[in-house]
Amino acid sequence: MSLTVSTLDPALAYYRAEIPAGDAWIHEIRRGQFFRIVDLHGNQAVDTLFYNAHDYADRYSAQDTIRDQGNLYLTAGSKLRSTLGHTLLTIVADTCGRHDTLGGACANESNMVRYAIEKRHMHACRSSFLKAIAAWDQGLTKRDITHNINFFMNVPVTPSGGLTFEDGISEPGKYVEMRADMDVLALISNCPQLNNPCNAYNPTPVEVLIWEGPGE
């Protein structure tokens, strides 16, 4: 794992917000700006999607990102690639060390299939995504909710190629920071999952910060 500390001062961020456990957040980040997600209490999965702010069909692609970097996990130096081959953002600092690209977002249906039929009505990330884009009402639809990043989530790959959801490797105050390489739209679900250890069975708030880039 690669740990890289940022030099940016939180007191100088022009935007700062806390996302409560289970809530969603949507915001545009301009090219050259720096975007940080802070795991305030530790072991909190943050399901995240990124889009080209000017063409939502050009969005984060797990397949292209994994292929280009030759690694299943994201950390400092990773370039988040889009479906059209663009670099959306680059991870420039990371004090957690590893982030998941494969686990996807929890949904009412997957809760039912994986855990129990009575879990179907528990809050899930896909529901948070859909609620956020409906309230935002700027052109995103259900078909735009595709494969996401799970920041701070620990999803090891087994020797047989399977996936497991394990206790997190993050701690209170750990963060991941990105530089926007183009104008992007960020969509976050601060995961409400209670059926596996991705949130230590206790979902908690996270913080997001944005700094202006050099010369802005």
Please state the domain extents for the chain: 17-211
Location of structure tokens 């991705």: 198
Tens digit of each residue's pLDDT, the chain (216 residues): 668 999 999 999 999 999 999 899 999 999 999 999 999 999 999 999 999 999 999 999 999 999 999 999 999 999 999 999 999 999 999 999 999 898 776 655 544 445 444 444 545 788 889 999 999 999 999 999 999 999 998 877 878 877 776 777 899 999 999 999 999 999 999 987 655 656 777 889 999 999 998 755
Closest CA to 38 of 162, 207, 184: 207
In 10 A of CB 31, how many CB atoms? 14
Helix (H, G, I), strand (E, B) or coil at 197: helix
Tell me the C-alpha distance between 133 and 150, whole Å: 19
